[in-house]
Amino acid sequence: MTQSNYTVPTSAGLAWNARAAAGEAVSPITQMVFGDGIRAPSGGETALLNEVHRVNLAGQGVLDDATAAYFDAYLPAAVGGFVIREHGLLTADGTLVAIGVRDPGVPKADPASGAADDFTYRIDVFYQHLDALAVTIDPVHGLTAERRVDTGTGLKGGGALIQNLTLEADFATMPEAIAGTSGKVMDAELVQAMLRRSTFTVMAFPHVETADHRLNLSDLGDGRIRIGAGNTWTWRNSERFSTSDFTDPMRIFPTDPSKLYHLRWHAPGTGTAVPEADYPMGRFELADMAGLSETATQYDSTLDRMLIARIETDAVNAATITSLANAVQLFDVVQDYEAVTISPQANGSRRGFEFVFDWARTPVNAAASVYRFDTSSPGLGAIHQDELYDADTNITGVSVDRYRYTGEAVRDYTSYIGVQAILQV
C-alpha cells in the first residue's frame, strides 16, 4: 500500500512567510486544523476538503538539522470520533498557510468507545524563512520551547517530549568493543569475553568440545568437502564458536585432483581472518600444501590457528579426510602386543610398531618401552635357554609427528613383544 505523509506551504503561506521575512507585520499562526478528506494537496488550497476539528497550537520550533519548522497540536481524549487524513495551519485571520496529507490516516477514537486517549500531533513544514515565522502558542497546553530528553554516552532512545520515550543502553558489539568505539557500553557477557582475552588466557590452545576433540567433516562427492554443523570450540579458553554460526559458503571448499591440503581455522583478527570486524567468528581456510613439508611442527595448531584436518585427493578428486584432535591438553597411553617379525626366538628378535593418534599438534613428550614379551619356544611352552644369558631389551629408530609414533622394539629370544607408549602435548 502506498503511504503518504507530508506537509507543504500553501501559496498564501509562501507569500505570508516572504512578507514576514521582509519585516512586514503578519497575522500569526494560531491553530492546526484536521480533516478526513482524501486528496493530494498541491499548495493552491485555501481550506481543507472536509474539516472535522481544529485546535490551538501547543508547540513550535525548528528541527535539529534546520531544514524545517515543526508544529505541535494537543488532542485530548475528550475529542474524537474521526480519522485524520488531512491537516493544515491557520493564522489568526483564518488564512490557510500550510496543508498536508496523512495516509494511512490516524484514528482519533470516539470518547464513548472506551478506547480514547490523548496525544500530541506533529507536522513539519519546509518554509524558506525559518527565522521569520509568526506563531502564537496556546498558554494552556502549549510549551514555549521544545522539551527534550537527550541521551548521553551509552544511552539511546531520546528525543522530543511529544510522545512516550523509551531509553535503553546502547550496547557495543564485540568488534566495536575491540575497536574501542566511543559512546557504547558493554553488557556483562561482553565484559567477561574481553577480560578472557587478556594475558591470563594467552597460553590456551583451541579446544574442540566434541568427545574426540575433532570437527565433523565430509566429502560431498562432487569435488567439495564440508565442515559439518553443530560442533563448538573455544579459543584461548574464552570465546566459544560454533560451526553452525557459519553459512555453507564459509564451510564448503572445492578441491582439485591429486592434491594435499590442510584445513584450518584462523581466530578473529589473525591470519586470513582480517580485518577482525569482517571476521568476528574467525575464518576457515583450505591451504594447498604442495611443495611443503606438511608434517613440520610449524603447521601444527597454534594459539590463534587451529589445524582441523589433513585432506588428500586422488586422481578422480575423491578425498581422504584425516580429522585432527584439538584440545588444550592431549594425553594418551597406548599398547600393542604383536609377533616378532625379525629373528624370532633368536638373538636380536625384534618387530616394528606404529601408534596412530592424529593430533593437531606434535607430541612434545613421546616415550615407548617394552612392557611384555614371550620367550617360550614354539610348541614347547618353556623358557628359551639362551635368553638367560642374552636378553637385550630396547626401543630403536623412533619417529614421531602429529599423526603417528613409530619405531622398533627389540627383545632377544622372543616370539612376541608388547610395546607401551606415552604421548602428551
CA atoms of 292 and 309, how far apart (whole Å): 16
Does residue 150 sit in the same domain as residue 38?
yes
- Whether residue 240 has pLDDT greater than 50: yes
Half-sphere exposure of 344 (CA within 13 A, CB side): 13
Location of C-alpha cell 610398531: 353
> What pLDDT is recorded for position 125?
93
Report how far apart the first and last C-alpha atoms of the chain are (Å, whole number): 65
Q: In this structure, are residues 123 and 61 in contact, taking their beta carbons and an 8 Å threshold? A: no
Please give the residue that has the higher pLDDT: either 71 or 193. Answer: 71
Does residue 112 sit in the same domain as residue 188?
no
- CA-nearest of 425, 418, 299 to 366 is 425
User: What are the phi and psi torsion angles at 356 (to 5°)?
Assistant: -100, 130
Q: In this structure, are residues 98 and 123 in contact, taking their beta carbons and an 8 Å threshold? A: yes
Is residue 30, in this structure, part of any structural domain at all? yes
214-223 mean pLDDT: 97
> What pLDDT is recorded for position 154?
60
Range in 138-152, 244-258, 275-289 the model is least confident about: 138-152
Does residue 290 sit in the same domain as residue 264?
yes
CA atoms of 169 and 186, how far apart (whole Å): 9
CA atoms of 95 and 12, how far apart (whole Å): 7
Does residue 244 sit in the same domain as residue 302?
yes
Please give the residue that has the higher pLDDT: either 132 or 180. Answer: 132
* The amino acid at 185: V
Please give the residue that has the higher pLDDT: either 386 or 234. Answer: 234
Does residue 120 sit in the same domain as residue 32?
yes
Q: Map residue 385 onto helix, strand or coil.
A: helix
Share of the chain above pLDDT 90, in %: 65
- Whether residue 52 has pLDDT greater than 90: yes
Does residue 197 sit in the same domain as residue 212?
no
CA atoms of 144 and 138, how far apart (whole Å): 9
Asked if the bond preceding 104 is cis, omega within 30° of 0, the reply is yes
- At 22, the pLDDT band (50, 70, 90 cuts) reads very high
> What pLDDT is recorded for position 54?
94
- Whether residue 15 has pLDDT greater than 90: yes
> What pLDDT is recorded for position 164?
59
Is residue 413, in this structure, part of any structural domain at all? yes
Is residue 253, in this structure, part of any structural domain at all? yes
Q: In this structure, are residues 33 and 91 in contact, taking their beta carbons and an 8 Å threshold? A: no
Buried b (16+ CB within 10 A) or exposed e, 58-74: bbbbbeeeeeebbbbbb
CA atoms of 23 and 131, how far apart (whole Å): 11
- Whether residue 284 has pLDDT greater than 80: yes
DSSP character string of 142-177? --SS--EE---TTEE--EETTS----EE-BPPHHHH
CA atoms of 378 and 260, how far apart (whole Å): 46
The top-scoring range by mean pLDDT among 46-50, 136-140, 177-181 is 46-50
Q: Each residue of 107-146: pLDDT tens digit?
A: 998 888 888 888 899 999 999 999 999 998 877 654 444 5
CA atoms of 265 and 180, how far apart (whole Å): 25
Q: Each residue of 389-414: pLDDT tens digit?
A: 556 889 999 999 999 999 999 998 88
CA atoms of 335 and 419, how far apart (whole Å): 6
187-215 mean pLDDT: 73
Identify the domain containing residue 301 by its residue range.
207-323
- Whether residue 248 has pLDDT greater than 50: yes
The CA-atom distances, in angstroms, between 223 and each of 218, 255, 257 are 11, 5, 8
User: What are the phi and psi torsion angles at 58 (to 5°)?
Assistant: -110, -15
- Whether residue 166 has pLDDT greater than 70: no
Does residue 280 sit in the same domain as residue 394?
no
Is residue 291, in this structure, part of any structural domain at all? yes
* The amino acid at 97: V
Is residue 166, in this structure, part of any structural domain at all? no
Q: In this structure, are residues 357 and 425 in contact, taking their beta carbons and an 8 Å threshold? A: no
Does residue 8 sit in the same domain as residue 151?
yes
207-229 mean pLDDT: 97
- At 150, the pLDDT band (50, 70, 90 cuts) reads low
- At 1, the pLDDT band (50, 70, 90 cuts) reads very low
- At 387, the pLDDT band (50, 70, 90 cuts) reads low
59-79 mean pLDDT: 90
Q: Which cell goes with 89?
A: 495551519
Does residue 107 sit in the same domain as residue 152?
yes
Does residue 110 sit in the same domain as residue 178?
no
Does residue 229 sit in the same domain as residue 370?
no
User: What are the phi and psi torsion angles at 209 (to 5°)?
Assistant: -95, 35
Does residue 253 sit in the same domain as residue 140?
no
Largest CA distance in the chain: 132
The CA-atom distances, in angstroms, between 158 and each of 147, 154, 165, 183, 269 are 11, 12, 6, 14, 35
* The amino acid at 111: P
Of 294, 323, 352, at which residue does a domain stop?
323
Is residue 165, in this structure, part of any structural domain at all? no
CATH of the domain at 392: 2.60.40
Q: How many domains does the chain have?
A: 4
- At 28, the pLDDT band (50, 70, 90 cuts) reads very high
